[in-house]
Amino acid sequence: MKTSCDKCCFLKTGDDGRKYCVAGQYCSLPVGGDKVETPGLCKLKRTFSWKNKEPNTLDDQSLVAVARHENNLQFDLIVIFDEFLHDIDDLHKTLDPEWMDGRCRQIIISDITGVNQSNGHAVEYFESYDGSIPLKVDCPLTNESPVRAIRRMSKKCMCKSFLVLPAGKILSDVKKLAHNIRYVDHRSILSMFHQKYGETILDMKGNTIFSLYQRDIFRRLTGHCTEECFTEQCYCKPFFNDVKQVESETKSEVFLTQFMDGCVIV
């Protein structure tokens, strides 16, 4: 969960001998000869081997533009479906591809109802599905918490990012989200959203699992957790508490979570 600026092609030395980032990112630099790695993920760190693959005619800012283009948002969608709370109409709403802006590469319906209590609505939807986005349905034998389901489903994700939504909800303005992801200038590893209920928009303040995750970092942070960690009492402890702890321990202006303004779960 740490990124060093060491060996990044965008790290330059100015006329005064001070190092800086031509991509305008927060720099994590050695102090007094000690190696420094700052928490979070620099979205624009690129190696010199990456730079050498680009045309030699590109200047630094053109290379930055190429790196930003590589940050184009694509995601796997994990839909949390619970028959006690949702029905097939909720799946039809959430899996309508129109709001996804062509950025979803795979859909996984996680039916947390459990086979023993389920009436098979998720499977019924799957059997009638005729969309172009690959669709999977996962249904454990017994009811499980959303947190445990997300942990398992993250191992099936192929994109670098995965979005978690409850059945019956969509994310507004995915184009704006994609723009924010491409031009993000901080080291956040978790993109969060406000939620709308009726006419009221709730400020979740991190108290939600419905977010956009960085797949590899999520796996790394939750991989050491025991199954006992994944209970409703612990809620988001395996991931969110680790993130908050690192934020509180970091004295620099590095934030690992970001609320995406203008993007609301509705």
CATH of the domain at 189: 3.90.550.10
Same-domain status, 254 and 179: yes
**pLDDT above 70: residue 142:** yes
Identify the pLDDT of residue 198. Answer: 75
**pLDDT tens digits, 208-241:** 789 999 898 888 877 655 555 444 333 344 455 5
122 and 63 part of one domain: no
**Rounded to the nearest 5°, which phi and psi values hold at 91?**
-65, -40
Over residues 96-135, the pLDDT tens digits come to 999 999 999 999 999 999 888 889 999 999 999 999 999 9
Last residue of a domain, one of 14, 48, 70: 70
Based on the domain organization, do 135 and 187 belong to the same domain? yes
Q: Tell me what pLDDT residue 250 has.
A: 53
pLDDT at 225: 58
Check residue 88 and give its pLDDT: 96
Among residues 160, 164, 204, 206, the alpha carbon closest in space to that of 77 is found at: 164
- Please state whether beta strands 211-214 and 190-197 pair in parallel, antiparallel, or not at all (unpaired): antiparallel
Residue with structure tokens 């993007």?
263
Per-residue pLDDT reduced to its tens digit, 20-50: 899 988 887 766 666 667 777 888 999 999 9
Domain range enclosing 20: 2-70
**Per-residue pLDDT at 200:** 75
CA atoms within 13 A on the CB side of 237: 13
Residues 89 and 218 in one domain: yes
**Structure token digits, residue 135:** 């669709």
Q: How many domains does the chain contain in total?
A: 2
What's the pLDDT score for residue 231? Answer: 41
- Measured in degrees and rounded to the nearest 5, phi and psi for residue 121 equal -65, -40
Residue of 70, 53, 71, 66 lying closest to 22 (CA atoms): 66
Residue 245 has a pLDDT of: 61
Cα separation, 229 vs 218, in Å, equals 15
Whether residues 58 and 87 share a domain: the answer is no
User: Last residue of some domain: 44, 70, 96?
Assistant: 70
Domain match, 48 and 150 both:
no
Domain final residue pick, 70, 85, 113: 70
Rounded alpha-carbon distances, angstroms, from residue 95 to 1, 77, 113, 126, 130:
32, 9, 19, 11, 11
pLDDT, position 236: 43
SS3 assignment, position 163: strand
Q: Do 154 and 209 reside in the same domain of the chain?
A: yes
Residue 230's pLDDT is: 43
- Whole-model pTM: value is 0.84
Give Cα 161 distance to the centre of its chain: 5
Can you give the pLDDT at residue 204? 61
Q: With residue 123 as reference, give the H or E element that holds it.
A: helix 121-128
Q: Are residues 50 and 144 in the same domain?
A: no
